[in-house]
Structure 1
Amino acid sequence: MAEIMQKFTTCLWFNMQAEEAAKFYVSIFKDSSIGRVTRYVKEGQEIHGKEPGSIMSVEFRIAGQEFMALNGGPMFKFSEAVSFIINCETQEEVDYYWDKLTEGGDESAQVCGWLKDKFGVSWQVVPIAMNEMLVDPDTEKVERVTKSFMQMKKLDLNELQRVYEG
């Protein structure tokens, strides 16, 4: 019997880097693995234009979430309109994900905890404590934290806690 899939799966459209991207993400996150790989066949080649036998899609799981990487061609690009948020417990965790995901990425896209990796996928690497700070009923604390994080590239939990506490 086929394994039941999660209800929603994120599909990431790449030109021809689906396998490379899936392996990259699986190497970074715990509880991650590569799943099924599909290949293009001759049928439909007049539409897809891919060489028969080349990889069409790679299913992969990162941190328990199902994804699919599709080699769809160059017509669609990633944008910051969609990003993946990584909620981090510690600064060490922020540093780990930031360092791994910025490697070879777009340095000009690094702002306020946002980054763009080497494939053009946008990520937000966020300390969970910051999310709590931003919903504090004390608006002066929220103002200080907001002013501080808006000036950062990689978020610094110690600095955020310092300005939060006044």
Structure 2
Amino acid sequence: MSMPIYPCIWFNNNAQEAAAFYCSLFNDAKLLESNPMATRFSAGGISFMLLNGGPKYAPTPAVSYFVYCEAETEINRLYDALKEGGKILMPLDKYDWSPRYAWIEDRFGVNWQLDVEAINSQQKIVPNLLFVNQKNGKVHEVREKYTAIFKPSMLLMDMPYPPEAGMPNGSLLFAQFKLNGFIMNAMSSTLQHDYDFSPGNSFVVECDTQEEIDAFWEALGKNGRYDMCGWLVDEFGVSWQIVPSILPQLMSDPDKGPRVVQAFLKMQKFDIQTLLDA
């Protein structure tokens, strides 16, 4: 059971342009595959899928990507590149939690948090979920649910709110956890924000068997919403795609690929046998 997890970002038909930019930006980036529908690349120890989805959805700051830089020269370089045509949400500076940190929304609308502190992992880019407004007390619940669903999993860090924040006792400001080898951050804010999670950012879970698809579909979608083509929204508003790991291979077949696409466009939860029979 491989069960790789990786982020998917929704673009308004400029995914290839964004992928070219990110592959030039990160030193270890590698293009994995590209077609008119989606482009995949790896960087910072994880894979990214960039989806040409059109104007229906867009990423929001509710999902950002922490880049843990091990040198000041590296964070300076990334900051200068990402801010071009983008928006600086927090300028590069010293903060209470970091000697060198910045938050930037790049020119494609994707949010990045740069931190000069090293992370003790090969994964140097870590997706971050930001829970705001009425969800700002959900971090503990989120990491409990996700670490129960994905196995093996482990808690890496908890940071409670300070007493002066006025949050209920035990509320978490920040948590970091590992889901089957994939590190995620979750944080919250007491400030009011005009955004929430959207399908503009989602997380793909690749499954080898129908049993895995059934289990993740049920567990992640419980108390949420089931959509089409393997997409669901969990009870916290985070979007997931539960897909068969064999799907890219089936879609790349010149004869079978179009029939596979037509088959899964009619599905909510993916059915592997139906795809094989298409």
What TM bracket, shorter-length normalisation?
0.7 to 0.9
Q: Secondary structure at the match of 2:130?
A: strand
In the alignment, what sits opposite 1:32? 153
| Cα distance in structure 2, aligned partners of 1:50 and 1:145 | 53
Q: Which amino acid aligns with 2:149?
A: I
> Following superposition of structure 1 onto structure 2, how do residues 17-166 of structure 1 map, counting pairs within 5 Å?
17-41=138-162, 50-51=166-167, 54-73=171-190, 75=193, 76-107=195-226, 110-138=227-255, 141-163=256-278
Following the alignment from structure 2 to structure 1, what is the Cα–Cα distance between the partners of residues 141 and 172?
11
Aligned pair in 2 of structure 1 residues 17, 159: CA closer, same or farther (>3 Å)?
A: same
C-alpha displacement of 1:65: 1.2
Instruction: Give the Å deviation of 1:50.
Output: 4.7
Give me the TM-score of the superposition, normalised by structure 1.
0.84
Distance, in Å, in 2 between the alignment partners of 1:142 and 1:19 is 42
Tell me by how many angstroms 1:64 deviates.
0.6
| Aligned-partner SS, 1:51 | coil
**% same residue:** 36
SS of residue matched to 1:111: coil
User: Cα offset for 1:41?
Assistant: 2.5
Shift of 1:145: 0.8
Bigger relative contact order, structure 1 or 2, given CA contacts below 8 A and separation 6+? 1
Cα 1:3–1:11 change in 2 (3 A) is closer
Q: Hey, what's the Cα distance between the residues in 1 that align with 2:237 and 2:269?
A: 17
Distance 1:72 1:130, change over 3 A: same
* Alpha-carbon separation, structure 1, partners of 2:221 and 2:168: 33
Whole-angstrom distance in 2 between the partners of 1:111 and 1:3: 37
Unpaired segments ≥5 residues, structure 1: none
Matching residue within 9, 24, 31 for 2:126:
9
Deviations 1:107-153 (A, max 9, x none): 4xx11001111111111111112221111132xx2111111100100
Deviations 1:31-74 (A, max 9, x none): 201221112236xx6xxx55396421111110111111112245
Residues of 2 paired with 1:70 and 1:60: CA distance? 12
Q: What SS does structure 2 have at the residue aligned with 1:57?
A: strand
**Structure 2: segments with no counterpart, 5+ residues:** 1-117
AA in 1 matched with 2:276: Q
**SS of the counterpart of 1:133?**
helix
Between Structure 1 and Structure 2, the one with more helix by share is 1
CA RMSD in angstroms, aligned pairs only? 2.0
Q: How far does the alpha carbon of each residue in 1:50-101 deviate from its partner, in whole angstroms, 9 at most, with x for none? A: 5396421111110111111112245231110111111110111110110111
Equivalent position amino acid for 1:124 in 2: Q
TM-score, with length taken from structure 2 = 0.52
Could you say if the C-alpha distance between residues 146 and 65 of structure 1 is closer, same or farther in structure 2, counting changes exceeding 3 Å? same
What SS class does the counterpart of residue 152 from structure 1 fall into?
A: coil
